Chains A and B, each alone.
Chain A
Amino acid sequence: MTNEQNDPLIRISNVNKFFGDFQALKNINLKVYKGERIVICGPSGSGKSTLIRCMNRLESHNDGQIVIEGNELTDDIRDINAVRREVGMVFQSFNLFPHMTVLKNLIIAQRLVRKTSKKDAIEIAMNLLERVKIPEQANKYPIQLSGGQQQRVAIARALCMKPKIILFDEPTSALDPEMINEVLDVMIDLANDGMTMICVTHEMGFARSVADKVIFMDEGEIIEAAKPKDFFDNPKNERTKQFLKQILTH
């Protein structure tokens, strides 16, 4: 279910990224269309986190172009801020602001960046808290919440900015097993509503059922990209097959 007639929302062309001498991304080419759900998987150090962090300029690429919604990502701070307004991010370690209540976490960026009024910001925030099913936690501090609850708040926080795209950087990797599903449920809900998502994850069940495209990365390169059915049942590349064998047999 992708919109291939329109222009891609994200266009990544010939991107290379170096950390000193180490090349983290090698000639990455990727197009993401509106409404697509992309899952990126691969071993540690494959560059998957680096790739999505380049999409909101938390890392900067050395060569090539990254164009998001027509805005090219450069060193210009105005370009960067323009992109960050439309691209939300959910982190592995949640990164909720510990010194603010849940509600304040949700409204601070709305007020500072979108200049929303306090009343409207609170309304938006409470609606989203309802959507992630924890409205009663609004006045608690992050430390009082479980990991699963914190991550759901983090998703709500990103959604408060009404982004066009959400990036997920291993959102469930830091969670105890029993809390993973409550977060995945929220993400599935989001996907069903048509949100464009790029998700770095090890949760293959999620990939199989929700993704439009699964991308396998290794050593900085995109090795294989296919629809889930093709990816899991008929992997073409040797390295992909190796990886799948390692993670699917426990």
Chain B
Amino acid sequence: MEALTGWWDDFFWGSKVVAEVFIASLGLTILFGLIGAAAKLSNSKIAKKLAAAYTVIFRGTPEILVILLFYFGLAITITSIAKIFDPTVKFIDIPPFWSGTFAISLIVGSYATETFRGAFLGVNQGSIEAAKALGMSQLQLFIYIRIPEMWRIALPPFGNHMLSLVKDTALISVIGLNETLFVAKQAITVTGKPFTMYIFVGIIYLGFSSIITLTVIAVERYGKRTTTVK
């Protein structure tokens, strides 16, 4: 335990990074998931095919590979593009925070696409027909009928997606993101106590997972307040 002395600060900042990645990727994941679901539910053949390709690619490729690909590949692409505009550019580095966040958002977003799609399809047809019969516009229908029912259906599986996001953050350490696992590696070279450090990282991530799980349970309860009979 004493091995941790002096490292508390670093682990704290590492945890902060985990939280930041989570928030950023959560927003992007929801965005990608909604776009994907919309594409799959739309009438456009092209949109459906693109969305299908999206889910197949990102559900079939290991997360670590996507992260590596984005980190190295994206840097090369952007550098090439930048060279077109400014030939003196040597290399553009994409910070691991953003390439990692983007990568895991795309991955979990592909799962979220399926979850959201299923949730939208699960909305009670009767409610929709009643709303149309009452003359509600498509937008009103979407905001007042579809969304409220849909998020309640999507919540349990989406909770699992959020857990995936948190845990995938550890993978971004591989490309140099200074979250907790990365900090642990540094601590080990100094203290020589790999078990202690990695267990501590595990505890930190377990903490994040627990917070997310408890939050999801609380939100589920809130959702049930108005939709179930007491």
User: Taking the complex as a whole, does A directly touch B, i.e. does some CB pair lie under 8 Å apart?
Assistant: no
Residues of chain A at the chain B interface (Cβ within 8 Å): none
